[in-house]
Amino acid sequence: MSALAGSLTRTAWTALGGAESALEALTFSGEGALPSFYAVTDVASASIATALLALAELLEFHEPEHAGAADSTPVRIRVDRRLSSMWFGFSIRPMGWEMPAPWDPIAGDYRTRDGWIRLHTNAPHHREAAQRVLGRHADHESMALSVARWPSRDLESAIVRENGCAAEMRSVADWSRHPQGQAVAAEPLVHYWSTDPVRASSWLPPRSRPLAGIRVLDLTRVLAGPVASRCLAGYGATVLRIDPPGWDEPGVVPEVTLGKRCARLDLTKPSDRERFELLLSEADILLHGYRPGALEHLGLDSAARRRLAPGLIDVSLCAYGWTGPWAARRGFDSLVQMSTGIADTGMTWKRAQKPTPLPVQAIDHATGYLMAAAAIRALTRRIRRGVGTEARLSLARTARFLVDAGQQPPEPPPAPENAEDLSPTLEATRWGSARRLRVPASLSQAPMSWELPAAKLGSSPASWS
């Protein structure tokens, strides 16, 4: 076992309440590490391993495949560190078509009067917010002239007041002194607690598809939540993603909708609200990534959700933590890297002249697999105790998990991708044929695979079948 990957897995698994003895089933393989000051490859491997540890635990209650049969074969988990690193980038390989550009033309890092700031403008309303402060600009070069006149902190505050998304580049030390950094440091990696008794259920996990028969209602956006639901779909869960009319995230949809149905509902319309409440009442797991208070504003607070679905497994995430002055602040992986000192550390480590983020969006992906692990562990709790569960995670707390791991031990980069890294199966996506990377981990007798190809948002009706 990779020493650091194993140590990080132990930290994450015990944060979820898992027994340390479960780690005996786990092995890591694969040489090389993504180039970074931080241990990105080992965090990637550990977060994926944590989700599979949760599946292995769930399979202790598996449904016998033959009447009267009892399979005592021990479950083994193997995680490939190199493939894990690759899955934290993009897993899809289009054939004869191209992925849309992942970034808006004016999104990115800008030098300010006294430092650096990142603007996140992929969503039209976030771009409008930035332009209300800085004026309309068609490209990065034009925007840079306006940004350069501002102090970083003043510009960050001005854009946030306009309901936009921006982050000043701070150092790790700056963040540790910041009230929000201190609030996040005091939070657990996963907030986890039991709720009310579950409605009667005879469900047990099938051995070969541990999540078959589980319904997941996915209200998440770029990128952590969709990674979580993709993982759950890979082990048999029925995942229905719900987006509002007009929402799109073209740069990542082919990557993250694998295995899912994707529908649209406007929760402010009575008929769509009624449909949503019916879907929720039939769901086992709800994943949501709205900012704190957003569902409450729609009259769908935690108590209301539990009334609709007694014993619901309710897993949510936010950007900057659940306590502190920034608890309701909008944010994304790239912004959290700027705020928490990761981009600043990368710049110093690389001796660069500009912010240097992680080589992949590791905070998003790691949080996604930890969300999946929390949801799966909650299924085990449901079988054992007959109760529902609520779990909360945040990008900022996962960033702390990465930073706390310290500097990555010296290791050469992973070997370049080759033909053997790709699955032989063609995926008939809505954009054209594609291949996927081979899955990064294995759980004995329960392979990860997806029954549905990647689909466009809004391409399915808002129903479970």
- CA distance linking residue 266 with residue 281, whole number of Å: 17
Q: What is the pLDDT of residue 68?
A: 46
- CA distance linking residue 252 with residue 101, whole number of Å: 9
Of the pLDDT bands very low, low, confident and very high (cuts 50, 70, 90), residue 85 is: very high
Q: What is the pLDDT of residue 64?
A: 63
> Percent of the chain, pLDDT > 90?
89
Q: Phi and psi (nearest 5°) for 15?
A: -65, -25
Tell me which of 8 and 65 has the higher pLDDT.
8
Task: State yes or no: pLDDT of 84 exceeds 70.
Answer: yes
Task: Please list, in sequence order, all residues whose beta carbon lies within 8 angstroms of the beta carbon of residue 22, skipping any fewer than 6 positions away.
Answer: 13, 53, 56, 57
pLDDT digit string, tens, across residues 242-252 = 999 999 998 99
Task: Please list, in sequence order, all residues whose beta carbon lies within 8 angstroms of the beta carbon of residue 41, skipping any fewer than 6 positions away.
Answer: 5, 32, 33, 34, 81, 82, 84, 85, 408, 411, 414
Question: Taking residues 324-328, what's their average pLDDT?
Answer: 95
Q: What tokens does 146 get?
A: 């306006």
Question: Lowest-pLDDT range, 68-72, 263-267, 377-381?
Answer: 68-72
Task: State yes or no: pLDDT of 70 exceeds 60.
Answer: no
- CA distance linking residue 229 with residue 233, whole number of Å: 6
Q: Are 450 and 91 in contact (CB under 8 A)?
A: no
Residue whose entry in the numeric block shows the structure tokens 């995670």: 393
Task: State yes or no: pLDDT of 46 exceeds 90.
Answer: yes
- CA distance linking residue 330 with residue 335, whole number of Å: 9
Burial of 420: CB neighbours in 10 Å, binned 0-12, 13-18, 19+:
exposed
Least Cα distance to 338 among 351, 322, 323, 319 occurs for 319
The 3-state secondary structure of 112-148, one letter per residue: CCCCEEEECCCCHHHHHHHHHHHCCCCCHHHHHHHHC
Q: What is the pLDDT of residue 62?
A: 80
- CA distance linking residue 91 with residue 254, whole number of Å: 10
pLDDT digit string, tens, across residues 92-122 = 999 999 999 889 999 999 999 999 999 999 9
Q: What tokens does 136 get?
A: 């309309």
Find the angle CA(330)-CA(183)-CA(327) to the nearest 5 degrees: 25
Of the pLDDT bands very low, low, confident and very high (cuts 50, 70, 90), residue 1 is: low
Q: What is the pLDDT of residue 199?
A: 76
User: How do 427-428 and 433-436 pair as beta strands?
Assistant: antiparallel
Of the pLDDT bands very low, low, confident and very high (cuts 50, 70, 90), residue 197 is: confident
Q: What is the pLDDT of residue 88?
A: 98
Task: State yes or no: pLDDT of 181 exceeds 80.
Answer: yes
The mean of the pLDDT values for the chain is 94
Task: Please list, in sequence order, all residues whose beta carbon lies within 8 angstroms of the beta carbon of residue 216, skipping any fewer than 6 positions away.
Answer: 229, 232, 233, 237, 238, 239, 240, 283, 284, 285, 286, 287, 375
Q: Are 374 and 190 in contact (CB under 8 A)?
A: yes
Question: Taking residues 346-367, what's their average pLDDT?
Answer: 98
Judged by DSSP in three states, 95 sits in coil
pTM of the prediction?
0.96
Q: What is the pLDDT of residue 341?
A: 98
Task: State yes or no: pLDDT of 407 exceeds 90.
Answer: yes
pLDDT digit string, tens, across residues 410-440 = 999 999 999 999 999 999 999 999 999 999 9
Task: State yes or no: pLDDT of 63 exceeds 70.
Answer: no
pLDDT digit string, tens, across residues 201-233 = 789 999 999 999 999 999 999 899 999 999 999
Of the pLDDT bands very low, low, confident and very high (cuts 50, 70, 90), residue 297 is: confident
Question: Taking residues 143-169, what's their average pLDDT?
Answer: 97
Amino acid at 9: T
pLDDT digit string, tens, across residues 361-377 = 999 999 999 999 999 99
Q: What is the pLDDT of residue 114?
A: 97
- CA distance linking residue 149 with residue 111, whole number of Å: 9
Q: What is the pLDDT of residue 294?
A: 83
Q: What is the pLDDT of residue 434?
A: 98
pLDDT digit string, tens, across residues 301-312 = 999 999 999 999
Q: For the chain, give the longest Cα–Cα distance.
A: 74
Q: What is the pLDDT of residue 191?
A: 95
Q: What is the pLDDT of residue 378?
A: 96
Q: What is the pLDDT of residue 196?
A: 86
Task: Please list, in sequence order, all residues whose beta carbon lies within 8 angstroms of the beta carbon of residue 154, skipping any fewer than 6 positions away.
Answer: none
Least Cα distance to 172 among 329, 399, 13 occurs for 399
Q: What is the pLDDT of residue 291?
A: 79
